[in-house]
């Protein structure tokens, strides 16, 4: 089965980076440039994994989107990987509190990213 | 009293002696009756007498002794009879009775001579000896009366001791007699002489008022007179003069001495020279005044409590910080203060929870040794949103005072938070382009791509690297300007026009051929500025005008003039017809990293205008921004004019202080 991955990130270049990285895998890719449209797209597409940037303009930031996902019974099985340029202990803790399944600090290695995503969909599929 | 008794005893003895002689003469005439009555009388007297009486023969042995001799000498009259006189009165071991009578006696009688007697166990005791000579049945006898003076000697010693005590006291002591006119001083101890400087003979017999010197109208003297008149004690402080005229402060305590019937016979005065003490009290007073002033001037709040935890002092800074009135707190227990503070605060936390320690001044050694306690933060809700740092210190002195120290660290906390926030933001801004650079290069290294894609990726890397370079440069500019606070600005009075022209000519915007339409007046306008910093600020403003307006819209630059706060100012206005700003964007324009357009289409770091504001304000100027969303923006950099500008053009007049005048080319 082709797993669906949703990329929610406001910086176009980084979206491109992630997209080009994941094209090496067998994924169906979706993108959103901010929190609100990301949440809507998540409801519409029901991705397996969501790559979620923390700092985004607009009404919802990454933590809030994550909380919405995890509190929604229909969406909470989505695996959320948070991406951020802030790596302080407080930020990681906030991510855990919001219910994120993983946390990547920018700049990240794209190959590490694809490995993580692969591992996630594999373990999700086996459960 | 003893003289009286002795007189009485001698009267009795004399009578007894006379009686004996009379008895002896009458023996022949009426022996039995006379002798019987005389002997009985004598026997009765000698038995009842309290003093020892004995008769001593010329050979120095006791011939007869009375009952009292037994208790005085510790031997029965029978044992005494025949014993040597020297065993009772050892002075006679070196002196005959006859010699003694001759040297101490008057007409054959010695009255009350002090010597030592001996008790039977050999212990000496003080006694007074009286004696006379007589003849009985043809023999010469010395009749002795010995009084044990142990008690009175002891009383004497006591008296002596007390007198020595008075003499060695360090306070001056005088005794004045109230029974003689003028209430003269009859006794003055050495300390009094030392304090007053007068000798004994200059004091005795005079009234104490000679110490007043010329100051006879002191208030306390009235109290002294009243006390004496009323016969009571008193304590006053008088300004007296020594013999050499030097003044001193005399703390005088007077006490009356009464007879049994209540009449005051003497006054005892104790004088203490408290001049030094007064001087210390003055000094203490001054010190306290000074401390109070410092206390009150301090911008930090202080509250002090005594050993019972009752509030003693509240300074005005504390009142200002908290809005609590000191007058209502003084005298109250600490718990009351805690309640008042709780009522106006929204929370409290120990200091270590917040990393504010770095912003506080260096701790004194004592504070360090008191760790881990550093203080509490009290977050006030009223009278304003403030945070106070409180430290409590217990004094280790005898007073057991507690001092609470309050410092308003609202601003420091805010600065701290802003710094922390800035660093986070800066980190984020730097890492974002790095993510592209790092990510794309990794992909290029580890995977293969076709040529168009490779070019695209390399282009992205290059672009993002460029952004990073700008960002790093601007961050450094900003950091440097902020750190140095304009200390390394090289300000010179110079004409404004050349700086503008150079900057405009140097503007090179990628893919944008527009030139700035600058209109500058011919008259030179002088300003006091650092030209490179001004150029930087102007470049940033112009750069924004380019970025946020379309290529078919002109960018204009002109000079304006105004009066503000009594001084003439010149404004460099950059006018664009671009997208303009909303009110919200306008409000956040100078915020670090604020971007009006975050789509990524317009390059920028968000630091440009922050830098402009820093530079202009450090040059004693002001940035004014006028903008309408969708219409365009005008940014004016105002600076004070260094010399008077040329006279205003005809047709223009000042309407008010903030009037803006346009200088136009004629």
The CATH number linked to A86 is 3.40.50.2300
Contacting residues of A for B598, CB less than 8 Å apart: 10, 57
Q: What is the 3-state secondary structure (H, E, C) of B120-166?
A: CCCCEEEEEEEEEEEEECCEEEEEEEEEECHHHHHHHHHHHHHHHHH
- Judged by CB atoms closer than 8 Å, whether chains meet at B435 and A17 is answered as yes
- Judged by CB atoms closer than 8 Å, whether chains meet at B434 and A106 is answered as yes
pTM equals 0.52
Q: What does the pLDDT average to over B110-131?
A: 89
Contact B189, B172 (CB under 8 A): yes
DSSP states of B645-658 as a string? PPPPPTT----STT
Rounded percentage of chain B residues whose pLDDT exceeds 90? 28
- Residue B524: CB atoms within 10 A of its CB come to 14
How far is Cα B572 from Cα B560, in angstroms, rounded to an integer?
Answer: 6
Does residue B216 register a pLDDT over 90?
Answer: no
Choose among B516, B511, B505, B636: nearest CA to B570. B636
pLDDT band of residue B369 (cuts 50, 70, 90) is very low
Optimal mutation site among A12, A86, A110, A113, interface B, most CBs of chain B within 10 A: A110
- Judged by CB atoms closer than 8 Å, whether chains meet at B435 and A85 is answered as yes
Question: Per-residue pLDDT tens for B448-491?
Answer: 999 999 999 999 999 999 989 988 988 888 888 888 877 888 88
The dihedral of CA B485, B489, B491, B496: what is its sign?
A: negative
**Does the bond joining B272 to the residue before it have cis omega, within 30 degrees of 0?**
no
Q: Tell me, what's the ipTM?
A: 0.92
DSSP letter at B88 equals T
Note the pLDDT of residue B349: 84
Does residue B404 register a pLDDT over 70?
Answer: yes
**What's the structural domain count of chain A?**
1
Residue B600 sits at the chain A interface (C-beta within 8 Å): yes
Note the pLDDT of residue B26: 64
How far is Cα B302 from Cα B289, in angstroms, rounded to an integer?
Answer: 16
* Residue from the list B424, B460, B598 with its beta carbon closest to the beta carbon of A10: B598
Contacting residues of B for A58, CB less than 8 Å apart: none
Rounded percentage of chain B residues whose pLDDT exceeds 70? 89
* Residue from the list A86, A88, A106 with its beta carbon closest to the beta carbon of B435: A106
Q: What is the number of CB-based contacts under 8 A between chain A and chain B?
A: 66
Looking up tokens 């007869």 gives B64
- Judged by CB atoms closer than 8 Å, whether chains meet at A57 and B438 is answered as no
Note the pLDDT of residue A15: 93
Question: Per-residue pLDDT tens for B506-563?
Answer: 887 767 788 888 888 888 889 999 999 999 999 999 999 998 888 888 899 999 999 9
Of the candidate ranges B189-203, B204-218, B484-498, B516-530, the one whose mean pLDDT is the lowest: B204-218
In a 3-state reduction of DSSP, which class is residue B563? strand
Longest dimension (CA), chain B: 183
* Residue from the list A21, A106, A110 with its beta carbon closest to the beta carbon of B432: A106
Q: How far apart are the first and last CA of chain A?
A: 15
Note the pLDDT of residue B286: 93
- Judged by CB atoms closer than 8 Å, whether chains meet at B598 and A111 is answered as no
Mean pLDDT of chain B: 84
Residue B220, CA atoms < 13 Å, CB-side half-sphere? 16
Choose among B553, B572, B541: nearest CA to B514. B553
Does residue B645 register a pLDDT over 70?
Answer: no
Residue window 446-485, chain B: list those with CB within 8 Å of chain A: 446-447, 453, 457, 460, 463-464
In B178-233 the beta strands, taken as DSSP E runs, fall at 185-188
Contacting residues of B for A85, CB less than 8 Å apart: 427-432, 435
Which residue range is the domain that position A17 belongs to?
3-126
* C-alpha distances in Å from residue B243, one per residue of B99, B198, B271: 54, 6, 15
- Judged by CB atoms closer than 8 Å, whether chains meet at B432 and A11 is answered as yes
Note the pLDDT of residue B219: 77
Q: What is the 3-state secondary structure (H, E, C) of chain A?
A: CCEEEEEECCCHHHHHHHHHHHCCCCEEEEEECCHHHHHHHHHHHCCCEEEEECCCCCCCCHHHHHHHHHHCCCCCCCEEEEEECCCCHHHHHHHHHHCCCEEEECCCCHHHHHHHHHHHHHHHHHC
Residues recorded for chain A: 127
How far is Cα A87 from Cα B290, in angstroms, rounded to an integer?
Answer: 53
- Judged by CB atoms closer than 8 Å, whether chains meet at A85 and B432 is answered as yes
A80: closest CA of chain B, how far (Å): 19
Note the pLDDT of residue B594: 81
- Show the CA angle centred on residue B642, arms to residues B637 and B646, nearest 5°: 90
Of the candidate ranges A3-12, A66-75, B393-402, the one whose mean pLDDT is the lowest: B393-402
- Judged by CB atoms closer than 8 Å, whether chains meet at B439 and A11 is answered as no
How far is Cα B432 from Cα B427, in angstroms, rounded to an integer?
Answer: 9
Contacting residues of B for A17, CB less than 8 Å apart: 435-436, 439-440, 443
Does residue B410 register a pLDDT over 50?
Answer: yes
Contacting residues of A for B457, CB less than 8 Å apart: 20
Contact A104, A81 (CB under 8 A): yes
How far is Cα B583 from Cα B590, in angstroms, rounded to an integer?
Answer: 13
């Amino acid at each position: 089965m082709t797993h669906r991955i949703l990329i929610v990130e406001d910086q176009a270049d980084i979206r491109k980076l992630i997209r080009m990285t994941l094209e090496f895998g067998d994924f169906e890719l979706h993108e959103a440039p901010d929190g609100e449209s990301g949440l809507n797209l998540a409801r519409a597409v029901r991705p397996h994994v969501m790559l979620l940037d923390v700092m985004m303009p607009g009404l919802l930031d990454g933590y809030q989107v994550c909380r919405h996902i995890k509190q929604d019974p229909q969406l909470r099985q989505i695996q959320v990987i948070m991406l951020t340029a802030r790596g302080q202990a407080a930020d990681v803790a906030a991510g855990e509190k919001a219910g994120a399944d993983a946390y990547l600090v920018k700049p990240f290695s794209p190959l590490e990213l694809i490995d993580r995503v692969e591992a996630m969909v594999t373990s999700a599929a086996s459960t | 009293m003893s003289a009286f008794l002795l007189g009485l005893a001698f009267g009795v003895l004399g009578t007894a002696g006379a009686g004996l002689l009379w008895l002896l003469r009458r023996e022949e005439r009426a022996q039995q009756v006379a002798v019987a009555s005389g002997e009985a009388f004598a026997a009765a007297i000698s038995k009842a007498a309290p003093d020892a009486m004995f008769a001593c023969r010329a050979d120095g042995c006791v011939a007869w002794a009375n009952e009292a001799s037994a208790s005085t000498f510790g031997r029965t009259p029978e044992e005494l009879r025949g014993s040597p006189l020297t065993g009772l009165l050892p002075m006679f071991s070196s002196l005959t009775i006859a010699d003694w009578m001759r040297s101490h006696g008057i007409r054959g009688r010695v009255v009350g001579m002090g010597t030592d007697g001996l008790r039977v166990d050999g212990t000496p005791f003080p006694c007074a000896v009286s004696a006379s000579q007589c003849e009985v049945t043809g023999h010469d006898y010395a009749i002795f009366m010995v009084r044990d003076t142990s008690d009175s000697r002891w009383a004497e010693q006591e008296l002596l001791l007390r007198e020595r005590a008075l003499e060695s006291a360090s306070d001056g002591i005088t005794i004045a007699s109230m029974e003689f006119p003028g209430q003269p001083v009859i006794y003055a101890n050495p300390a009094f002489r030392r304090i007053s400087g007068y000798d004994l003979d200059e004091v005795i017999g005079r009234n104490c008022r000679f110490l007043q010197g010329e100051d006879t109208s002191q208030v306390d003297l009235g109290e002294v007179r009243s006390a004496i008149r009323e016969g009571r004690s008193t304590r006053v402080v008088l300004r007296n003069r020594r013999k050499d005229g030097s003044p001193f402060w005399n703390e005088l305590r007077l006490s009356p001495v009464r007879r049994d019937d209540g009449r005051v016979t003497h006054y005892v005065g104790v004088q203490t020279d408290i001049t030094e003490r007064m001087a210390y009290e003055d000094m203490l007073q001054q010190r306290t005044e000074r401390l109070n002033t410092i206390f009150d001037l301090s911008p930090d709040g202080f509250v002090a409590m005594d050993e019972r935890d009752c509030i003693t002092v509240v300074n005005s800074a504390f009142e200002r910080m908290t809005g609590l009135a000191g007058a209502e707190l003084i005298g109250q227990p600490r718990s009351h203060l805690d309640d008042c503070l709780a009522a106006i605060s929204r929370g409290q936390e120990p200091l270590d929870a917040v990393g504010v320690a770095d912003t506080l001044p260096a701790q004194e050694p004592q504070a360090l040794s008191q760790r881990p306690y550093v203080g509490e933060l009290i977050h006030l809700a009223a009278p304003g949103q403030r945070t106070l740092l409180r430290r409590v210190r217990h004094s280790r002195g005898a007073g057991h005072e507690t001092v609470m120290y309050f410092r308003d660290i609202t601003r420091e906390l805010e600065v701290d938070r802003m710094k922390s926030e800035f660093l986070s933001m800066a980190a984020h801004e730097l890492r974002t382009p790095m993510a592209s650079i790092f990510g794309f290069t990794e992909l290029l290294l580890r995977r293969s791509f076709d040529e168009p894609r490779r070019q695209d990726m390399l282009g992205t890397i290059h672009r993002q690297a460029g952004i990073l370079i700008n960002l790093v440069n601007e961050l450094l500019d900003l950091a440097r300007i902020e750190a140095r606070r304009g200390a390394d600005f090289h300000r010179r009075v110079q004409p404004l026009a050349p700086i503008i022209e150079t900057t405009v000519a140097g503007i090179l915007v990628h893919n944008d051929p527009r030139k700035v339409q600058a209109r500058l007046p011919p008259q030179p306008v002088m300003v006091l500025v650092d030209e490179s910093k001004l150029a930087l600020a102007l470049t940033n403003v112009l750069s924004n005008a380019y970025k946020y307006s379309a290529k078919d819209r002109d960018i204009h630059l002109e000079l304006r003039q105004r009066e503000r706060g009594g001084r003439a100012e010149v404004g460099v206005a950059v006018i664009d017809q671009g997208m303009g700003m909303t009110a919200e964007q306008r409000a956040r324009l100078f915020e670090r990293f604020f971007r009006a357009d975050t789509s990524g289409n317009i390059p920028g770091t968000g630091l440009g205008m922050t830098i402009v504001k820093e530079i202009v304000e450090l040059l004693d100027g002001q940035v004014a921004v006028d903008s309408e969303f969708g219409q365009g923006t005008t940014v004016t950099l105002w600076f004070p004019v260094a010399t008077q500008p040329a006279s205003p053009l005809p047709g223009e007049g000042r309407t008010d202080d903030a009037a803006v005048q346009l200088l136009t080319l004629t």
